[in-house]
Copies of this chain bind each other. A is one copy, B any other.
Amino acid sequence: MPKIVDHEERRLRLAEAVWTLTLRDGLEGVTLRKVAVEAGVSMGQVQHYYATREDLVRDAIDRAVRALNARIEASIKAADPASAETMLRECLRAVLARDPESLRLLQLSVAVLGRAIADPAMADVLAPGSGELLDFTAGLIAAARQERGTPARGNGLIDADICWNLATSLGVDAALGQRSPEDALKVLDYHLDNLLG
């Protein structure tokens, strides 16, 4: 068998280059030649790993969204499992772009939103409001109220839905630089105080 290279490592490096260029020049500004320069490889090599520019961009986007989801899940697992309220707050804070890497991934996700309009497949990639997440969040809300001694009320699933919508909206604002992460956090905490109090 001939030379064996780590495809995953190559593709990751190219995806990183696409990320950098996307944040600097926008998705439309991502060209094969610029990606090659940014990644320090020949343009031919870029074409070797991705059949078309569309494949390249799509894979880079996919990796960004998955990396962001992985970070969110990691912060969920890292949260204190003893307190439902801290866990709830930590989960929602994870999409607020409070560290540079999260900000970068969040900005990339926002950059994809535009494509999702004309490309239904992209819309599926995003879609954070999966059923299980809402169930899980609704459970956290109920448990957090119990901790506080607050009586249950309203519809837990809709409450959870609202929480995630608010958090992601605040995250988008932060990604666009229209709102500081601190301000976003303040608004989110305010909402949770009302929800649980």
Number of copies: 2
Choose the segment among A44-52, A65-73, A113-121, A136-144 that binds chain B (4+ C-beta atoms closer than 8 Å).
Answer: A113-121
Provide the bound-state CA to CA distance between A120 and B194, in Å: 34
Choose the segment among A6-14, A26-34, A35-43, A75-83 that binds chain B (4+ C-beta atoms closer than 8 Å).
Answer: A26-34
Contacts of A191 in B (CB 8 A): 162
Provide the bound-state CA to CA distance between A186 and B168, in Å: 19
Provide the bound-state CA to CA distance between A110 and B116, in Å: 9
Q: Is the CB of A123 within 8 A of B172?
A: no
The contact size tier of chain A is 35 or more
0/1 interface trace, chain A 180-197, chain B, CB 8 Å (1 if under): 000000110011001000
Provide the bound-state CA to CA distance between A178 and B124, in Å: 8
| Minimum Cβ distance to chain B for residue A189 (Å) | 10
Dominant SS among interface residues on chain A? helix
Provide the bound-state CA to CA distance between A107 and B117, in Å: 6
| Minimum Cβ distance to chain B for residue A69 (Å) | 16
Taking A107-B117, A162-B191 as known contacts, 6 extra A-B pairs with beta carbons closer than 8 A to each other, sorted by chain A number, are A23-B118, A26-B117, A27-B28, A117-B176, A120-B177, A154-B190
For A129, give its contact among B24, B26, B178 (CB under 8 Å).
B178
Contacts of A132 in B (CB 8 A): none
Provide the bound-state CA to CA distance between A107 and B113, in Å: 10
Contacts of A172 in B (CB 8 A): 113
Q: Is the CB of A165 within 8 A of B161?
A: no
Contacts of A113 in B (CB 8 A): 110-111, 113-114, 172, 176
